Amino acid sequence: MAQKDMKGYWKLFGVLVFALLVYMTYPFLEGIVYAIFLYYLAKPIKKQLDKKIESKEITSFIAIITLLSLIVIPTMVSTIYIADTVSKSFPFLIELIENILPQEYSEHINELVSSIKILDVNYFLELVRSRDIQSIVLEPLKRLTEVFLWYLLIMFIAFVVGFYFLMDGESLMGWAVDNAPQRDEKIIDEYIGNMDCALNRIFVGVFLTMVITLIFALISLTVLNMVAPAELKISAALILGLSVLCGLFNLLPGVGIKIVWVPTAILFTLQAYFMGTLMASLWYLLIFALVMAVIVDFVPDQILRPYICGAGIHTGLVLLSFVFGTVVFGAKGLFLGPIILVGFIEYMKTVVPQLSDE
C-alpha cells in the first residue's frame, strides 16, 4: 500500500516538475520554435560535414553558423545599402516631413536638424529634453530599442537551442523511444519518425519559398527598372538589396513582403509627385504595384508555399496552418502552426489505429 502511495506522489512530483519546466520555457517559446526551424535547415549541411569531420560539436557549430551567414549577412548588407540610399535622400525626407506633419511638429523637427548640422550641443540637448521632441522621437526610439534587445535575446536562444538540437537531436529522439513503455515503443518510434520527415519537408519548403520569392523579386524589379521613367530608375545594387529583403520578409506572417514593396511604391509616388511627373509616371506606378502584389507577393506565398511544403498533407491544411498559426501565435505561428498540424495528423494516422486495435 505504501509503495502505491509513493508511486502516486512521484507521479504528482513529475507533473509539478513538468509544469514548472513549461512555465520557465514558455516566455521563450518563440526562440525554441525558431531553433527547430534552424535545425531542419542546417541538418543537410551537418550531414555533409559529418562525412569529413568526426566531431559532432564542430560540425553542428559550422552548420548553424553557415546557415545564419547565408541569411544574416545578405540581410545586413542589403539593409546597410538601403539605409545609405535613404540617408542620401535626407533633404527630400525633411521636405516630406514638413509637408505631412502639422506646422508645430515640423518646426520642432527643423530646429532639431539645424542644431545637429551646426553641432550646437547645448541647444540640441535642450531640444531633446522638450516634451514635444520626446513624444515624437525619443519614446518611439526607446520602444524600438526594447523590441530590438528582446529579439536579440530570442535569436541567441534560437542559435543555442538549434546548436544542441543539431548535436544531440537524434540522441534525444532515441532516448524518448528507449524510455517509453515496451508495448508503446514501436508506436512512439513510428510517430517521432513520421513527424521528423514531415517537419523536414515543411521547413525546407519554407526556406525554398524564401529563395523563390527572392528570385521572383530580382527578376521583376530588374524588368520593371528597364521600363521605368528616368526619375524612378534605381541602381542594380538597390534592386538586389530589395530582392534579398523580399525573400527574408516572406517569413513574416500577414504582412510578408508588403513591408518592403509598399513603402517602396509610396516613395516612388512621392518622388514623382515632388518632381511634377506624377501623372506621367502613373502607368508605371500601377504596373509596379500590380507586379509586386501578384507575382512577387501572392504567387509564392499563397500558391507555391502550400505545394512545396505539402509533406503528404493536404495543401489546403498546410496553408491554413500557416494562416491560423500566425493569427493565434504571432510571428512564431508561421512555424508553430505546421508543427501542431503535423503532430495532430501523425497522431491520427499512427496512434489512433493502434489504440483502436487494442
C-alpha dihedral (305, 307, 312, 318), degrees to nearest 10: 40
Q: Which helix (H) or strand (E) holds 109?
A: helix 103-117
- In contact, 31 and 154? CB cutoff 8 Å: yes
Predicted pLDDT at 83: 64
CA distance 192 to 170: 11
pLDDT tens per residue, range 28-66? 898 899 899 889 888 888 888 888 888 888 888 888 888
Burial class (CB in 10 A: 0-12, 13-18, 19+), 354: middle
Predicted pLDDT at 23: 92
Residues 112, 78, 143, 145, CA torsion sign: negative
**Picking from 1-5, 32-36, 219-223, 354-358, which range would have the lowest pLDDT averaged per residue?**
1-5
pLDDT tens per residue, range 156-194? 998 899 888 888 878 887 787 777 776 777 888 888 888
Q: Give domain limits for the chain.
A: 29-179, 182-358
Predicted pLDDT at 292: 92
Predicted pLDDT at 220: 93
Average pLDDT, the chain: 79
Query: Strand locations in the chain, DSSP E?
Result: none
**Cβ neighbours, 10 Å, residue 301:** 18
pLDDT tens per residue, range 268-281? 888 888 788 888 88
pLDDT tens per residue, range 307-351? 787 667 777 788 788 888 888 888 788 889 889 998 898 888 888
Amino acid 272 reads A
pLDDT tens per residue, range 104-130? 555 555 555 555 544 455 555 565 556
For 39, the grid coordinates are 535545425
pTM as predicted? 0.73
Q: Diameter of the chain by CA atoms?
A: 91
Predicted pLDDT at 309: 77
pLDDT tens per residue, range 235-263? 888 888 888 888 888 877 667 788 888 98
Place of cell 553542428: 60
Contacts of 272 (CB under 8 A, 6+ apart): 229, 231, 232, 278, 280, 281, 285
